Structure 1
Amino acid sequence: MALVPNGIFGIRKPNEQLLTLPGAKEPLVLIPPADGEVEAQSWEVEGLENGNVLLRNQRHRTFAGYEGYPQENTEVVGSSEPREWQLRPAGHPDVFKFYVVVPGGPVDGTELALDISVLDIFPTRIALRPLDVRDQEQSWDFLIHLP
């Protein structure tokens, strides 16, 4: 059973900033909600039979992904190749709050999750970081867009 229904979502950090894809194959960034960026900040969540999901940006129609083998600090970018993600509950079961994890178990001994990059640049970039389920700030809120 899927943790979230298939549909269009805004994906937000607890600090109110939204996951945004500025260009089709550019790095994903975190910025405040912006009127002119609604489609760049909207993600189609498609559940797969294995329980994982694909995240496709509504403006550019590319997927949240990464190049090559997943490693700590790998930048997350828009990709024409679909990448699967595992959603792990991070809050109350009635709230769409998840850790977004690279599926398949630990990579080089560490589970990796979608999180804020360690690069100190603006806008804030997104990278694969070690999963820490005790850190609620590593989780994401999935806000359904009603038709």
Structure 2
Amino acid sequence: MAPVPNGVYAITRPYEQLITLLEPKDLAVLLPPTGQPGEQEWQLEGLDDGTVQLRNLRHQTFLTYDDEPNVNEMIMGSTEPRRWALYQAAEPFSFHVVVPGGPIEGVELALDLSLLRIFPPRLALRPLDVNDQRQAWKFEFHE
């Protein structure tokens, strides 16, 4: 069972930076509130194996990566659902969003900021560090 209930969430980092999908199959980016209904809201659906799927409310596409998970693999929207594991972080309602079934090449991979220093910041798979609170995401429930 997923550690958070099914529902619609904004998935944020400090300073009101939200996971955003500007186009249905675009790269996922981190932006302040855009005011566009649904592009920063994610339907979380818990699956029987304890993993979750995250579907963008505006575009109805899933948060995913291309093909096989690799370090620095970019995160995007896709019509193909992708399973994610949520690992509880130190703060309430905060989780590391992790590729299930790891480790891959010796490390577990987690949803994090890309190393590319461009605006808006892109999301990518990065090696998981459960002690790094900056790698955790806060799930804010939306009615």
Q: Same fold (TM over 0.5)?
A: yes
Which consecutive residues of structure 1, in runs of 5 or more, have no partner in the other structure?
none
Q: CA RMSD in A?
A: 0.9
Residue 88 of structure 1 aligns with an amino acid whose one-letter code is Y
1:1-147 alignment runs, 5 A limit? 1-35=1-35, 37-92=36-91, 95-146=92-143
Equivalent position amino acid for 2:42 in 1: W
Cα distance in structure 2, aligned partners of 1:56 and 1:38: 14
Structure 1 contact 20–29 (Cα < 8 Å) conserved: yes
Alignment deviations for residues 61-104 of structure 1 (CA, whole Å, 9 cap, x no partner): 00000111100000000011000000000024xx2100000000
TM-score computed with the length of structure 2 as normaliser: 0.97
Percent identity among equivalent residues? 54
AA paired with 2:34?
A: A
CA distance in 1 between counterparts of 2:68 and 2:102 reads 13
Quote the offset at 1:2 in angstroms. Answer: 2.4
One-letter amino acid of the counterpart of residue 107, structure 1: I
The Cα offsets for residues 99-133 of structure 1, whole Å up to 9 and x where unpaired, read as 00000020111100000000011000000000001
Q: 1:105 and 1:138 mapped to 2: Cα distance?
A: 17
Instruction: Give the unaligned 5+ runs of structure 2.
Output: none
- Preserved contact between residue 86 and residue 97 of structure 2 (Cα < 8 Å): yes
CA contact 2:2–2:86 (8 Å) conserved in 1: no
SS of corresponding position for 1:70: coil
Deviations 1:21-56 (A, max 9, x none): 010000000000121x23100000000000000000
